[in-house]
Structure 1
Amino acid sequence: MNLTISGHHLEVTPAIRDYVQSKLERVMRHFEHVIDIAVILTVDNLPEKEKRQKAEINLRLSGKALHVESLAHDLYAAIDSLIDKLDRQVIKYKDRLQQHQHEAIKHMPEAPAPEVVAT
């Protein structure tokens, strides 16, 4: 698994990097087949004297790519809500994979063949 953490208008400190990695462990315990993860942390300076913190993640799984983004006034809050959203999406994807395997035609019970009446 490749993990890339980058910042736009923001320096990614070791504390932020460790925080993101510790939060991603929660996702990794649900689904281990992750190819790579790209996290982008952004600070937007708005003219209304408030800053908007944005966190995005692109998660490539085997057969699927997930994209999640979150906005908040605090970067840590944005990361927390991002991980919550990503966790829900990974669980939903994992459930779809498991249900798809159980609904295969070869596992369906066979219907009895209709009897042919000769006249």
Structure 2
Amino acid sequence: MRIDISGHNIDITPALRDYVNSKLERVDRHFDHHLDVRIILGVEKLDQKAEATLAISGKTLFADAVSEDMYASIDALADKLDRIVLKHKEKLTDHHRGESPARSESFG
């Protein structure tokens, strides 16, 4: 997984960078394809905002979270990303069981 972290009206400290990387490990474990993630951490008045854009093989997934604490925003963002990636993974799996025996018999 490639993670690009940038800040909007905030300096990205090594502690924030490490926290984001540790929280996104769970997302990486659930999806075995290559992920490009762009994280933007920002401050707007009293709100701490975290948003992410995932580029997954032809699709772009987006999630954001707003809280009064940056670490809480990152936690909420990681939970949302995890749900989105699991939902996307579920869509990719083939749920068909194949031909049923009744359909394979010839009626004639």
TM-score w.r.t. length of structure 2: 0.89
Q: Please, what is the CA RMSD of the aligned residues?
A: 1.6
Distance, in Å, in 2 between the alignment partners of 1:57 and 1:24 is: 11
User: Could you tell me which residue of structure 1 aligns to residue 33 of structure 2?
Assistant: 33
Distance, in Å, in 2 between the alignment partners of 1:35 and 1:27 is: 9
Q: Of residues 92, 99, 105 in structure 2, which corresponds to 1:108?
A: 99
1:19-30 alignment to 2 at 5 Å? Answer: 19-30=19-30
Gaps of 5+ in 2: none
Distance, in Å, in 1 between the alignment partners of 2:35 and 2:76 is: 22
Q: Of residues 46, 52, 57 in structure 1, which corresponds to 2:52?
A: 57
User: Could you tell me which residue of structure 2 aligns to residue 14 of structure 1?
Assistant: 14
TM-score w.r.t. length of structure 1: 0.81
**Aligned letter for 2:95?**
H
Q: What are the superposed Cα offsets for residues 2-36 of structure 1, whole Å, 9 maximum, x if unpaired?
A: 21100000000000000000000011110021331
Mean Cα displacement is larger for which, 28-37 or 14-23? Answer: 28-37
Distance, in Å, in 2 between the alignment partners of 1:60 and 1:68 is: 12
Gaps of 5+ in 1: 46-50
Q: State how many pairs are aligned.
A: 106
Identity %: 48
User: Which SS does the other structure have where 1:55 is aligned?
Assistant: strand
**Aligned letter for 2:27?**
V
User: Which SS does the other structure have where 2:30 is aligned?
Assistant: coil
Distance, in Å, in 1 between the alignment partners of 2:20 and 2:6 is: 11
